[in-house]
Amino acid sequence: MLYARWHECHYVLQDDGAVLTWCAGESGDVFIPAKVDGYAVVGIVDAFSGDSTLTSIAMPNTITTIGPYAFCNCRNLTNINISASVTSIGSDAFLGCTNLTSVLIPACVTNIGYSAFEDCSSLSGLVIPDGIADIGDRVFLRCRNLTAVDIPNSVTNIGSYAFCACDRLMSVTMPNGLMCIGDRAFCSCGELTGALAVPDSVTSIGELAFYGCTNLDSVTIGNGVTNIGDNAFGGCSGLTSVTISNCVANIGQYAFAGCSGLISVMISNCVANIGYSAFNGCLGLSSVIIGSGVTNIDDSAFYGCSRLANMTIPDSVTSIGNNAFSGCSGLTRVSIPDSVTRIGSSSFSGCSGLTSVTIPDSVKSIGPFAFKDCSNLTHAYVPSALRSSMSSYYGVFEGCPADLVITYY
């Protein structure tokens, strides 16, 4: 391996050209030469990492690669002219460049490594070229000054934490070819505003993908999505309506938990499972349509949805989980189909608006406190097959009125 020195900079000489690996004594405005010892300068790796005196960089059109840590933690770097010849930006390349305000990523770039622009907290201008297929993990994490991002049609994957904690991000355009939205991709983007349309091309929405996006007001999930990850839209308190497409099979745990402004939800016929605490704490939820494909309503799925007034459970459901509708104090009517075999513990506890309930004869198990503190319940119709075993289901109607009439049929 050959080395070359130019001023206080060191280069590694390779068959395809020279790579700048270390620089000292350079400050302020720096220009990188096109050639060193007759070799074209083709790359930068690690060279300026931690240089707090660097303010701007100009690079020649011979450079094709900006490697890992090239300008990492150059905290006073405000301006960089990335050569149009660059095809790859490595991991952590500009991490922690807190005064960098704008970046024009050249059209030839096809790869941006993880954390490439992480913690570029002053970055407000960003152009992503059409040609990028993958926006990697943490690439723009905590770029707190970004206000808008136009993601080109070439992008198929948005990695984990890609735009997480971009506090001022107000709008995102998602391309029709996008396939995957990674875990926490837009987590805590509290200014992301308006309606979110997830394209039909997307197949998976990761865990906490939009968690804490408090200004989103509606979500339409495209026909390609099969899984909504755990807590994907948790804490989106401004969300008022959600439409879930026909291809979604699973709504993950806490998927919409804490969406206190959510008013209506339409769950398609293809959903088989409504996950643990999926809509827990959706205090404004008044209308839910559950599709005919759902077989399981998991524990605490609608816990504390106090404005939910009517609930028709489709005849595909076999199990109602523990605390599934606990605290739904506005619930005045519930229709339990004869497909249900299990009603979990405390599943309807605190449903103070219920006046009558019919338990179908398909039910083989009722958990403790299933209808505890249903303070206005006056009639309960229970299969006679359960009469002899009611004592084993301790407290099924505990806290209900003393004059509750239980009719066995």
pLDDT digits (tens, 9 = 90+) for 99-125: 999 888 999 999 899 999 999 999 998
Q: How many CA atoms lie within 13 A of 93 on its CB side?
A: 24
β-bridge mates for residue 13, sequence order: 2, 18
pLDDT 10s digits, 330-343: 999 999 999 999 99
CB 262 within 8 A of CB 242: yes
Q: Is the pLDDT of residue 66 over 90?
A: yes
**Which tokens go with 299?**
């524990």
Tell me the pairing of strands 17-23 and 9-14: antiparallel
DSSP per-residue letters across 167-193: TT--EEEPPTT--EE-TTTTTT-TT--
Distance between CA 161 and CA 141 in Å, rounded?
A: 6
Q: What is the mean pLDDT of the chain?
A: 91
* β partners of residue 365: 342
Q: Alpha-carbon distance 281 to 369, whole Å?
A: 20
- Residues 12-30 have a mean pLDDT of 82
Edge-to-edge strand list for the sheet holding 405-408: 356-358, 379-382, 405-408
Question: Is the pTM of the predicted complex or chain greater than 0.85?
Answer: yes
pLDDT in tens, 209-238: 999 999 999 999 989 999 999 999 999 999
**pLDDT for residue 96 is more than 60:** yes
Phi, psi of 29 (to 5 degrees): -90, 125
Amino acid identity for residue 249 in this structure: A
Q: Is the pLDDT at 291 greater than 80, yes or no?
A: yes
Q: Does 5 score more than 50 pLDDT?
A: no
Position 202: which residue type?
V
Report the pLDDT value the prediction gives residue 2, as an integer from 0 to 100. Answer: 39
Tell me how far apart the alpha carbons of residues 239 and 251 are, in angstroms, rounded to a whole number.
17
If one compares 52 and 329, the residue with the highest pLDDT of the two is 329
Cα separation, 383 vs 71, in Å, equals 72
**Residue 387 three-state SS:** helix
- Which residue reads 């206000």 in tokens? 147
Cα dist from 83 to 18, 34, 44, whole Å: 16, 11, 12
Q: What are the chain's domains?
A: 1-114 (3.80.10.10), 309-409 (3.80.10.10)
